């Protein structure tokens, strides 16, 4: 992405770096017009920019990672699918009379192997986001996803899902049409599929809307993606009745990929280009493809029974640390009281 494009979607914490890069660009243009040799000065400024880049992106706060995960130019599900697949055929409809554009999916070939790919799809601009409902699926989206996954399971095709949503659509109409049931049914069915399932958080993984396509043998996560039980804004509004305290909520929720790997929720982190996946989408896609192919090869060596058992155990392990800590604390309280 060019410097001018980055400045169009400038994040607050990137401002010092963008200003320095703009200064370097301006000096280059002036030197070119006046035929003055400023190469040494430019080298010094570029070294300073490189150092500043490492400092900024090496010490990001959870709320800053959330900004990167929500970046308007961050690659979407369809961007990654079209970049990593040999062939791609999108399929539509939940076979109950609706087709949700916020959740897309279809049949593809990855390194020559037939697979089913599906994921949340956000828009690029306001008009597109409205059409895609800002990546928040309705019940028909989850039922479409289930139809595609059942098709994959029937014909022995691995399932690859891409998570990028602030949450499932919470409108009255969605509730009337069975939003909770649609997500819960997906969770149950995904635990029982015979084929390998790899889930990747590519941007923002929010609430049950993310989990509705997030039960798999492997859970991967891009370095600057986030995964959380609720958006920090919603969490702050619930706990402190003040959505402006979202920074505090983001830190408390431990939404970053590093925290989630430490907690045992995420299996593997996918590195991003230094300024984020939006800075070099093709490079991000290349790394994603490499990781998916390697993980898929390992999973295909297991039997369906082994994969189901490992999938079950993976999710049963989540939360045990917190339960043990709670028991220890209760035991300490009893010891003090006696």
Q: What is the mean pLDDT of residues 72-83?
A: 95
Architecture per CATH, 66-321 = Alpha-Beta Complex (3.90)
Q: Which of 114, 113, 131 is nearest to 122 (CA)?
A: 131
In tens, the pLDDT along 288-329 reads 999 999 999 999 999 999 999 999 999 998 876 555 555 666
pLDDT at residue 12, as a whole number: 82
* pLDDT greater than 80 at residue 332: no
277 contacts 284 by C-beta, under 8 angstroms: yes
* pLDDT greater than 80 at residue 248: yes
Q: What is the mean pLDDT of residues 110-118?
A: 97
Q: Tell me the C-alpha to C-alpha distance, in Å, between residue 144 and each of 79, 97, 99.
A: 20, 10, 7
Q: How long is the chain?
A: 338
Least reliable range by pLDDT among 6-10, 151-155, 174-178, 220-224: 6-10
Question: Residue 264: which residues within 8 A CB-CB, separation 6 or more?
Answer: 317, 318, 321
Q: What is the mean pLDDT of residues 194-210?
A: 95
Beta strand 113-120 pairing with 103-110: antiparallel
State percent of the chain over pLDDT 90: 67
**Residue ranges in the chain assigned as alpha helix (H):** 3-8, 15-34, 39-58, 62-69, 77-84, 126-131, 139-154, 172-176, 179-192, 207-211, 232-240, 246-253, 257-262, 281-300, 304-317, 320-337
Least reliable range by pLDDT among 39-48, 80-89, 135-144, 174-183: 39-48
Would you give the DSSP letter of residue 97?
A: S
117 contacts 148 by C-beta, under 8 angstroms: no
pLDDT at residue 52, as a whole number: 84
* pLDDT greater than 50 at residue 338: no
pLDDT at residue 326, as a whole number: 56
Sign of torsion over alpha carbons 153, 156, 157, 158: positive
If phi > 0 it is left, if psi is from -120 to 50 it is alpha, else beta; for residue 111 that is left
Q: Which of 123, 117, 88 is nearest to 104 (CA)?
A: 117
* pLDDT greater than 70 at residue 70: yes
Q: What is the mean pLDDT of residues 149-171?
A: 96
Q: What is the mean pLDDT of residues 123-127?
A: 90
Q: What are phi and psi of 161, to 5 degrees?
A: -115, 150
* pLDDT greater than 80 at residue 8: no
Number of C-beta neighbours around residue 273 at 10 A: 18
pLDDT at residue 49, as a whole number: 83
């Amino acid at each position: 992405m060019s410097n001018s494009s980055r400045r169009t979607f400038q994040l607050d914490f990137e401002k010092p770096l963008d200003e320095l890069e703009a200064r370097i660009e301006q000096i280059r243009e002036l030197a070119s017009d006046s035929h003055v040799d400023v190469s040494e000065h430019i080298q010094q400024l570029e070294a300073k920019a490189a150092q500043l880049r490492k400092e900024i992106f090496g010490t990001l706060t959870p709320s800053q990672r959330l900004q990167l995960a929500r970046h308007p130019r961050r690659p979407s599900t369809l961007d990654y699918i079209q970049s990593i697949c040999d062939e791609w055929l999108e399929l539509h409809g939940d076979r109950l009379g609706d087709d949700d554009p916020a959740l897309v999916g279809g049949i593809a070939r990855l390194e020559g192997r037939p697979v089913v790919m599906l994921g949340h799809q956000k828009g690029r601009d306001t008009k597109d986001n409205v059409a895609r409902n800002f990546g928040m699926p309705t019940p028909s989206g989850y039922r479409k996803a289930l139809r595609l996954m059942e098709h994959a399971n029937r014909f022995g095709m691995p399932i690859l899902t891409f998570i990028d949503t602030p949450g499932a659509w919470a409108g009255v109409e969605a509730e009337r049409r069975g939003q909770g049931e649609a997500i819960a049914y997906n969770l149950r069915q995904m635990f029982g599929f015979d084929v390998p399932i790899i889930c990747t958080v590519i941007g923002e993984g929010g609430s049950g809307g993310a989990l509705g396509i997030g039960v798999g043998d492997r859970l991967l996560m891009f370095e600057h993606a986030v995964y959380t039980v609720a958006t920090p804004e919603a969490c702050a509004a619930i706990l402190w009745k003040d959505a402006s305290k979202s920074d505090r909520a983001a830190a408390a929720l431990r939404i970053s990929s590093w925290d989630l790997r430490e907690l045992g929720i995420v299996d593997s982190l996918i590195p991003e280009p230094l300024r984020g996946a939006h800075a070099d989408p093709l490079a991000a896609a290349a790394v994603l493809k490499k990781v998916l192919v390697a993980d898929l090869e390992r999973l295909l060596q297991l039997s369906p029974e082994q994969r189901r058992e490992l999938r079950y155990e993976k999710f049963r392990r989540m939360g045990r640390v917190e339960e043990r800590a709670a028991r220890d604390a209760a035991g300490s309280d009893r010891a003090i009281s006696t």
